[in-house]
Amino acid sequence: MTHHSTVGSTEKVRARRRGSRKLLAVAIAAIAIAALGACSTGGAAPAKTVAHGCGHGATNLTFWGWPAGYNLAVSEFNKTHPDTCVKLENAGASTAEYVKLSDAIKAGSGAPDVATIEYFELPSFEITHSLVDLSKYGVSSVKTNEAPVAWSQVTQGSAQYAMPVDLGPLALFYNAKEFKDNGLTVPTTWSDFATAAATLHAKNPKLGMTNFDPESTQDVLALMQEYNAFPFTYTGGSTIGINFTGTAEMAFANYWQGLISKQLVTTAGDFSPQQWANLDSGANAARLSPAWGPVGMQLSIKNTIGNWVTAQMPQTTAGGQLSGNWGGSSLAVVAGTKHAKQAAEFVKWFGGSADAWKILSGPVAGAFPAYVPLLNDSTFQARTLKITGTTTPNTVFAQAAQHMVDPQWPPIMTAAATQWTSTFAGVTKGTETLPQAFTTYQAQLVAYAKAQGFTVTTN
């Protein structure tokens, strides 16, 4: 249970379908247990945080969000903005929330004024005209305060469909002691990375360089961004580009399949007890970690606390600085709200104010900011964690946040993620290769997109 409560408390798995499903399962379990307990106490408390201190006559806003610590930021907003009263409701994490949200929008009632939406899901709501264009409410003025990639994720042309909150830039998080003991230098290119993995494996066949979970949609797609092999293109409208079989994409698939076949990397499920055990026993010497990763990781390992050092991701070309994004979410104002102006004011404050970020980057929420003043803040960059000893991970992650590939998500990501797990399961089991899975998935997704009426380009 430790592992799951860890995931739950950090809420960092929001970027991942499986993570959120896991949360859902744990939440269901928790609710069930609470309900059993409630037999004697007379009823479980509703999963609702009603803000305190809302005065009479204040405009009421409903806000759907699940990440940890959001309730604290909402209370702060309500305290400092007496004219608006935000009520935070947890309508489930990630996909669970999106299903409810799109159903409520279709039904024409029951939708909130504001909702947490991950970047990859925004186009799915944009295409159904479900989000309010915030550029009409003066929110665009905060553009310079947001990391360029985050800003690009929430905008389509001149329209702004959400306010960025957090980000998940990738970095190489490695066990410095294990590297030193095995005479490894920190790899700066993917080719160095494979060489180092082979060296490590030759010294001890039980050791793998890192973990690669083929079934983890968002993890693989983040790594593909960083590899300059992102398979999707979409700029609004009815044309989608899907290309899992292009040169760069196949190079990516072949690279990782090579490491998997030679057992230089493990294929445990992301956030599974097996993965944490591998990281703690040395069976994995490194983790390709998003910025929000270390906080949760240090609660799930014990033997290697203090050994972990952060470095820039290995690059496809020497001297590059690219990073990919895994996770991160935004706040969108839902079309049909009667209080778009107040809602816009709230999301602007939530994602783009020092007051909000004081709470959001704090110990409870632990979000990694897309908010540039904090990214550049020397105190923020100098923070250390138990797991990192005296080294400062935020220095590297903040740098990575400024050099991220801007992925264009297609408006079919829910279906894409649903089909992904089944299609890629064979790679973990060893019954198919990653390039084969890419080829199968390409055909599936193109067929789905065409069935949905899209024009599909595949190059």
Partner 1 sequence: MADQLAQAAPTGTSLRIRRPSAGPSRTARRGKVRQWPGAVFIAPHMLMLGLFMLVPTVYAIYTSLYTTKLIGGTSFSGGANYVTVLQSSQFWDGVGRVLLFGVIQVPLTIALAFFFAAIFDAGIVRFSRFFRTVFFIPFAVPGVVAAVMWSFLLLPGFGPYATFAEALGLGKLNFFSSQLILPTLILIVIWEFTGYNMTILYTSLKSIPREVTEAAIVEGASLWRIILRIKLPMVMPTVVMLVFLNTVGALQLFTEPSILAAFQPQAISFGFTPSLFVYNTAVGSGEYNLGAAAAVVLALIIGLLSVAGLAVRRRDGEFS
Identify the bridge partners of residue 265 per DSSP, sorted by sequence position.
210
**What is d(CA 245, CA 260) in angstroms, rounded to the nearest whole number?**
19
For residue 205, how many other CB atoms are within 10 A of its CB? 9
CB of 134 to partner 1, least distance (A): 23
State the helix-helix crossing angle for 273-281 and 293-300, rounded to 10 degrees: 80
For residue 22, how many other CB atoms are within 10 A of its CB? 21
CB of 21 to partner 1, least distance (A): 4
Give the residue with the Cβ less far from partner 1, 138 or 273. 273
Closest to 183 in 3D by CA, of 195, 169, 167, 166: 195
CB of 219 to partner 1, least distance (A): 13
Give the residue with the Cβ less far from partner 1, 1 or 45. 1
Give the residue with the Cβ less far from partner 1, 80 or 128. 128
Give the CA angle between residues 51, 52, 53 to the nearest 5°. 125
Give the residue with the Cβ less far from partner 1, 68 or 415. 415
CB of 421 to partner 1, least distance (A): 5
Q: What are phi and psi of 332, to 5 degrees?
A: -115, 150
Give the residue with the Cβ less far from partner 1, 9 or 399. 9
Kindly compute the dihedral angle of the four CA atoms of residues 225, 427, 120, 27, in this order, to the nearest 10 degrees: -140
**What is d(CA 222, CA 231) in angstroms, rounded to the nearest whole number?**
11
CB of 321 to partner 1, least distance (A): 33
Residues 6+ apart with CB under 8 A from 48: 87, 88, 89, 90
**What is d(CA 130, CA 101) in angstroms, rounded to the nearest whole number?**
10
Give the residue with the Cβ less far from partner 1, 80 or 455. 455
Query: For binding to partner 1 (CB under 8 A), which residues are involved?
Result: 1, 18, 21-22, 24-26, 28-29, 32-33, 95, 99, 102, 127-128, 215, 238, 269, 273-274, 277, 411-412, 414-415, 418-419, 421-422, 425, 428-429, 431, 448, 451-454
Q: What pairing do the DSSP bridges indicate for beta strands 239-242 and 455-457?
A: parallel
CB of 3 to partner 1, least distance (A): 9
CB of 334 to partner 1, least distance (A): 18
Give the residue with the Cβ less far from partner 1, 419 or 439. 419
